[in-house]
Amino acid sequence: MKRIVFVLSMLLVLLIAVSASADKVTFNLNYEFSGAQSPSGSPPWLRATFTDVSGGVELELISLLQSSSEFVGQKGWYFNLDPNLDLTKLGFTYISGTIANSISKGINGFKADGDGFFDINFNWNANVFGQGDSVKYKITSTESILASSFDFSAPGGDKGSFHTAAHVQGIAIPGTAEGSGWIGDTGQPIPEPATMLLLGSGLIGLAGFARKKFKK
């Protein structure tokens, strides 16, 4: 029984280690930190997922905006890169979806109103990336990059520190013209390592075996 408990403990440690090196990282933009009013409906309003793939990282951007009048504004959608990596070596290959009008790079080159400097800006023309839209890109580099390479927050002010931020326009404000606001992610990103399911199944199986052995 002691041996089984020891094995379970070691597997748990391994599970935690795998979680720390997840092959997928998701950011939910669920916090409006600058603007007159939040976008319509319940957050999150946007979602970004970085996934390790052969030769680089796949990025999927999804609009969860719930009003047809709202869209990611011309100021764009911002991200950061591990400062130990060379930003100039990143390349972006379009896969599918609502293609960005431009993708710009610059170390701390983009400032979200109120909080945070960012390195990468996906920019669409006005009223293009809105309700129901999504897009996928493959990100490559001559250096080794992973999904976790984009798990870095920007230096911010008094509103917080965000891994990603976007400018949403077309937000309806009662009694006034349409407004706009900046939204970002809060808390930790969501790691989703593929091997966690396998390890979790192993832990459950071992726990069941230990319980059966203990009853005997």
Q: Where are the domains of the chain?
A: 1-21+193-216, 23-190
pTM of the model: 0.79
SS3 5: helix
Nearest Cα to 75, choosing from 29, 118, 110? 110
Please answer whether residues 130 and 70 qualify as being in contact, where contact means their C-beta atoms are separated by less than 8 angstroms: yes
- For the chain, the 3-state helix, strand and coil shares in percent, each to the nearest 5, are 20, 40, 40
What is the structure's pLDDT at 188? 59
What pLDDT does residue 14 have?
46
pLDDT the model gives residue 195: 43
pLDDT at 172: 84
Task: Write down the pLDDT at residue 158.
Answer: 64
Coil, strand or helix at 192: coil
> Which residues of the chain fall below pLDDT 70?
1-22, 114, 155-159, 175-177, 187-216
Q: Is 198 helix (H, G, I), strand (E, B) or coil?
A: helix
Per residue in 76-96, pLDDT (tens digit) is 999 999 999 999 999 999 999
